[in-house]
Structure 1
Amino acid sequence: MRRATSLRAVLVAVLAASALLIGAPMASAHSVVTGSDPADGSQLETGPTQVSVSFNEVPQSQFATLNVVGPDGNLWSKGDPRIEGQSIVVDVGELGPAGDYTIAYRVTSADGHPISGTLGFTLTTAGSGSPGAPADASAATDSEDGGGIPLWPFLVAGGLVFGGGLAFALRKPKEQ
C-alpha cells in the first residue's frame, strides 16, 4: 500500500511538472527590421545597385523574398534575393522613372514565423533603365500573420495527456 502511494505521488509530480513545461510560453520573439539600405524614406539622385533590409537576428533563407517596385508598378530588382548575415539583399538594375520606389520583403524569422512589410525611397532624377515584369500586387501586401504553426493542437494534446495521467494517478487501487 505504501509503495502504491509513493508511486502515485511521483507520478502526480511528474505530470504537474510536464503540465508546467507544456503550458509555459515559448521565448520566441519575432525578427524586427533594424534598418535598410537605402534608408526608409530617403531621397536619392541615382538608384542603388542593390537594396537590403536588416533584422535583429539572422532570417532563414527558405522562402525569402525582396522586391523593388517602381512608381510605374514594375519590378526593378534583378535576380533572386540572398541572405547576407542579418540582412536580405537583392541586386537592382538601373532605375527608370523618378518617383517613389517600394521595397517589399518577406522572410521567415529564426523562430519560424513569417514576417513581411514594405519600406521605400524616392528617386529624384529619372534614370534610363528598363523595367522588369509588372509587380504582383499581392507580394507587397502579404499579412504579417499569414502563416506559422497553430498552437491550439499542442495545448489540447497536452491537456488530454495531463488529464489522463492525473485520472490514472488518482484512481483507487483495487483491494486484494
Structure 2
Amino acid sequence: MRTASTLLAAVLLAVGLSFLGASTASAHSVLESSDPANGSTVSTGPGSVTLTFNEALQESYDVLNVVGPDGNFWQQGDASVVGARISVDLRSLGPAGVYRVNYRVTSADGHPVRGQVEFTLSTAGTGTPGPSATASSDGDGGTPAWPFIVGAVIVIVAVGGVFVLRRRARS
C-alpha cells in the first residue's frame, strides 16, 4: 500500500510540475523581413503585404490584417501561408498616414508568434476601407492561462490529499 501511494504521489507531482514548469521554447519563428519594409514610406499603396519568417509556418490559425490611420481594415480576403511567408491582398489604400500590419502565425514548433510592422502611405489614395478594426476585434489574447491554473490546482490538491491519506494510514 505504501509503495502504491508513493508511486501515485510521484506521478501526480510530475503531472503538476509539467503544468507549472512549462517553459517557453526558444525556437519560435522570427520575422526576417516585410514587404513593404517595416518603417518604410510608400507613395502608392501596395497590392499586398508579405511577411517572411526564418522558418516554415504552419497553415493554421494565421492572421494578417492591415489597419489604416482611419482605424479601418484595409486587407482583402484571408491571409495565405506558403512556406516561411504569409501574405494578404490589400484594397486600394485610402488616407495618407501609418498603416499597421498585425500578424499572428504558428511556428513550426506549434507556438503562436505575434507582432506588428508598419509602413507609411505618403500620398492619399482613393480606396474604400473595410470594416472598423475597433468594432471587429478577434478577441484573441493568446493561449488562455486558466486551464493550466485549474489543472495545477487540481494536481496540488490531489497530491496534498495523497499525503494526508498516507499520514492517516501510518497513525
Fold shared, TM-score > 0.5 on shorter chain: yes
1:4 aligned residue: none
| 1:38 shift after superposition | 2.0
- Give 1:148's aligned amino acid: P
Alignment correspondent of 1:167: 164
Which amino acid is 1:80 matched to?
D
Counterpart of 1:12? 6
Deviations 1:60-118 (A, max 9, x none): 623x432222334443211112333344321113334433212133456624x6x6543
Aligned 8 A contact 1:74 1:131 in 2: no
1:8-59 C-alpha deviation (Å, 9 max, x unpaired) = 1353144124303421412334956524332221122333222134556635
* Corresponding residue for residue 61 of structure 1: 60
Identical positions, percent:
36
How many residues are treated as equivalent by the alignment?
163
The question of whether the paired residues in 2 share the 8 Å contact of 1:102 and 1:119 is answered with: yes
Matched letter for residue 134 of structure 2: A
Q: Secondary structure at the match of 1:137?
A: coil
Counterparts of residues 38-117 of structure 1 (less than 5 Å): 38-54=36-52, 58=57, 61-62=60-61, 64-107=62-105, 110-111=110-111, 116-117=114-115
From 152, 157, 167, the counterpart of 2:154: 157
CA contact (8 A) 1:75 1:131 kept: no
The separation in 2 between residues aligned to 1:105 and 1:135, in whole angstroms, is 17
Indicate if the aligned counterparts of 1:104 and 1:139 stay in contact, CA closer than 8 A.
Answer: no
Structure 1: which amino acid aligns with 2:36?
P
8 Å contact from structure 2 (residues 12, 158) kept in 1 = no
Residue 33 to residue 74, structure 1, CA distance change in 2 (3 Å): same
The alignment partner of 1:172 has SS state of helix
Whole-angstrom distance in 1 between the partners of 2:29 and 2:122: 29
Matching of residues 28-39 of structure 1 within 5 Å: 28-29=24-25, 33-35=30-32, 36-39=34-37
The two structures, once aligned, show a CA RMSD in angstroms of: 3.5
TM-score by length of 1: 0.68
Q: Structure 1: which 5+ runs fail to align?
A: 1-6
3-state SS of paired residue (1:164)? helix
Q: In structure 2, what is the Cα distance between the partners aligned to 1:75 and 1:117?
A: 16
In structure 2, the residue matched to 1:3 is none
1:106–1:117 CA contact under 8 A, matched in 2: yes
Alpha-carbon deviation of 1:153?
Answer: 0.6
CA gap 1:73/1:166 in 2 versus in 1, 3 angstroms: closer
Instruction: Specify which of 14, 23, 26 is matched with residue 22 of structure 2.
Output: 26
Given residue 102 of structure 1, which amino acid in structure 2 is its aligned partner?
R
8 Å contact from structure 1 (residues 79, 91) kept in 2: yes
